[in-house]
Structure 1
Amino acid sequence: MSHQFDLFNNETPATSEQTVNNSATALKLTTQDSQLTPSQQRFNRLLERIEKLKKQLLELQAISDAHRPLYHQAIAPLRERERLLTREMVLWLDERLQRKGLTPTQKRIATTILCGLSEQLAAQGDEEMQVLHDKHSTESLEQKEQASIKEIRTMMEDMLGESLTDEDSLETMQDVFNAGMARLREAEAEEKARRQARARKKKPTAAQLKAEAEQEEAETTLRKVFRQLASALHPDRENDPDERARKTALMSEANAAYDRRDLIALLQIQLRTELTDPASIAKMAEEKITSLTRLLKEQAQELEGELYHRRHAARHEFGLSSYETPSSTSLRRSLRREETLLKADIDAMQQDLQLIQDDKFFKRWLKDQIQPSNTVLLDEWIINTFR
């Protein structure tokens, strides 16, 4: 016999094991004697939305995990080959610049290409490339970094309208960026506090009072659901080792769900332990359904944000375009595209390295980089040809 009770009753019955559907839709409200109220319908729609979002997150994780080894197996060797060819080009340009036979313009173009390529390799930790860059450049990589740090600091200070302090380490661009963003967040928090202080001085509207009451009721609901579970599942009250272990696992699950404000997970644990069922939730007062719905809405918004950020991270990791939704099909298509481009770049680099051994071709090659008809600027050419 199951032990259902009012979710908002402070008394807690004994628990027993029950196997139920662990999906969010198992909590959907139904009623036999009348139609669902608008609040109950909203509750069910949010359950469906949350279930769909969780499924999308799991699917994204699964396809990313499955694609990752395939991606690195295909792309890593090509990028390493590209890196070695880029390095070979830098070393050849360094050697050629030490010999006679180039005009000042040709030397300038060759030096610009060398510095651009060696800077990329130095950023990957190649110390020899850093030495070669500084040998040919009028500005060392350290000087360039300091100039960039100064530039981003000025930009951050202009955004903030105040100077960044030197209390924290600001030795790298990332340090300056992090300090600026932290100060921006502090400024936003201060402005929010000021707005809230001004709002408190004003008489709240009926809508504001209603929203505050609903939020307070939602928080109370979440606490009550958790406390009921904590009381029913407290492992120290069990003498049987197996039952104590089971309750310890469930209590750990409930604690994690409460920390992330996951109402659905808490209700699912109640279903699994027969502390409630959808029928008892459906019989709750309208205001109680409203408070549960508010919590579900917050959870759905958080899941939508998490899905957005994970999709963005997947696009960045696997080279998808900003408009492409990560899927098995789009990831395979992107992998083929990136393989094709890398192989084409490698073929072009190998051909260039072979042909520039002929000094006449090398000079024509340099001249091609500054032709008016060439729509790609020299620095863009470096990035696109020797990525």
Structure 2
Amino acid sequence: MPQQQNLFPEQAPDTSQEEIASTALQLTSQHGRLSPDQQRFNRLLKRIDNLKSQLAKIETLCDAHRPAYHLTLSPLQERHSNLIRELVLWLHARLQGKGLSAALKRDAKTILCHFSQTLAIEGDEEMRHLHDQYSTESLAQKQQNMCDDMRAMMEDMFDFSPSEDEPLDNIDDLLHASLKQLREADAAEEEQRQQKQRRRKKTSTQVKAEETQQEADSMLRKLFRQLASMLHPDRENNPEKRAHKTELMSEANKAYESRDLVTLLKIQLHMELTTQESIAQLAQEKIASLTVLLKQQIKALENQLHTRRQRALQEFDLMPYDPLTKTTLTRNLKQTEWSLQQAIREMELDLERIQDDQTLKTWLKEQKKLLAQSASTDFFDLFGMR
């Protein structure tokens, strides 16, 4: 076997400013075909590049769409909220006068509470005050009752039992506590599973897997320590080089924390602490350990991609399974804009209708029916989850 080149030399040349492409890490063969393990190594590198590219595209897409999204919808949302506020204040003033039957007054109070609640949840204290003035339950009481109901349901369905010193004052506390308990239960179950495995005699495959994992961890630490030694900013007097090393050190820290082997190797090449030939030789000799690290990195990137995608869908009010594309974002923005414009127009018409007592009575009856039909959405509205 040819002697392996030193991957961690004592001295390193000056920093190269050339950006390292991912293809620099790909294994090649001058004689014959690559082995199946080497081909798998290259496929894993390509998969990592693809996942990182998808993450970057999501960030670029969201950054490009966000200004138009807020510029288009914010004025409409503000106009709609102002109209709701105007309607609530008008109903409040009308309830101080005469001419409405007891039944119509009850309906007017119910509708006033419904509309004021929407704005109160968003932080409008005057609307909260008016809601509490006309409602049999304050908004805080409604939220607490809903929280208690959810807690009872979770205790019944999921054996939810938070500690007594854990705050459960609102729905966020409740969800946090339930998720914490689920994670603790999963961790306890995993610990029991591992204890059972430890009591069993390990197979040769398990022993080999553990050895490979330990070798992979050791290799990752060695890569990082070499970089940390060479990139320490205090060892550089040149301000420009110090700033560059500080940036690379920050990148190396993040890469090590996330077990990002590819980025660490790229920084090694960038700093000329190693060569493509050295990495290729290392990959041939330590292919199993490197493959373990690459597979773990792929799994982490897949989870990160899923989380980022869901966060983007939520930010722009898309459905959970909508494709995250420019076309989808643009179409949804237009639909949301149209819906808000329609809601504004309807609210303007409502404000016109309620000026006359005769049409006010008709409007109150219509609103009462609409509230009855939408009663199932009260939970989401109450906690601002729409």
TM-score range, shorter chain: 0.7 to 0.9
> Is contact 2:104–2:364 with CA below 8 Å preserved after alignment?
yes
Pairing 1:19-168 to 2, within 5 Å after superposition:
20-158=18-156, 161=159, 163-168=161-166
Alpha carbon RMSD of aligned pairs, Å?
Answer: 2.9
Partner of 2:304: 306
Listed as ranges, the gaps of 5+ residues in structure 2 are none
- Measure the CA separation in 2 of the matches of 1:141 and 1:239: 62
Matched, 1:336 2:353: no
Report deviation, 1:292.
0.9
Higher mean Cα deviation, 222-231 or 184-193?
222-231
Moved more, 151-160 or 121-130: 151-160
The whole-number CA distance in structure 2 between the counterparts of 1:238 and 1:368 is 75
Contact 2:77 2:340 in 1 (8 A): yes
The 2-side partners of 1:38 and 1:355 are apart by 76
Query: What is the match of residue 15 of structure 1?
Result: 13
> Equivalents in 2 of 1:276, 1:173: separation in Å?
53
Deviation per CA, 1:348-385, whole angstroms, max 9, x where unpaired?
110111012122222222333466xx79704479999x
**1:156 offset after TM fit, Å?**
4.2
Q: Deviations over 1:193-226 (max 9, x none)?
A: 1221122111223433333222222212212222
For the pair 1:5 / 2:1, whether they are aligned, the reply is no
- 1:61 is displaced (CA, Å) by 1.2
Inter-partner Cα distance in structure 2 for 1:281 and 1:204: 32
User: Does residue 179 of the first structure (1) align with residue 177 of the second (2)?
Assistant: yes
Equivalent position amino acid for 1:48 in 2: K
TM-score, normalised by the number of residues in structure 2: 0.87
Which residue pairs with 2:205 in the alignment?
207
Question: Equivalent residue of 1:14, what SS?
Answer: coil
Q: 1:44, 1:214 → 2: CA distance?
A: 19
Letter in 2 for 1:342: L
Give the paired residue count.
378
Moved more, 128-137 or 320-329: 320-329
Q: Cα offset for 1:28?
A: 0.9
User: Pick from 240, 251, 254: which aligns with 2:252?
Assistant: 254
Q: Equivalents in 1 of 2:328, 2:89: separation in Å? A: 38
Pick closer, same or farther for the CA change 1:318–1:244 going to 2, 3 Å. Answer: closer
CA contact (8 A) 2:9 2:273 kept: no
* Preserved CA contact (<8 Å) 1:40 1:282: no
Other-structure match for 2:295: 297
234 and 315 in structure 1: CA distance in 2 versus 1, 3 angstrom threshold: closer
- Find the aligned partners of 2:78 and 2:240 in 1 and give their Cα distance: 54
| Structure 1 stretches of 4+ moved >4 Å | 231-249, 380-384
- TM-score, normalization by structure 1: 0.86
Aligned counterpart, 1:263:
261
Query: 2:218 & 2:136 partners in 1: Cα distance?
Result: 66
Supply the AA of the counterpart residue of 2:5.
F
Q: Which runs of 5+ in 1 are unaligned?
A: none
> In the aligned structure 1, how far is the partner of 2:353 from the partner of 2:175?
44
Residue equivalent to 1:317: 315
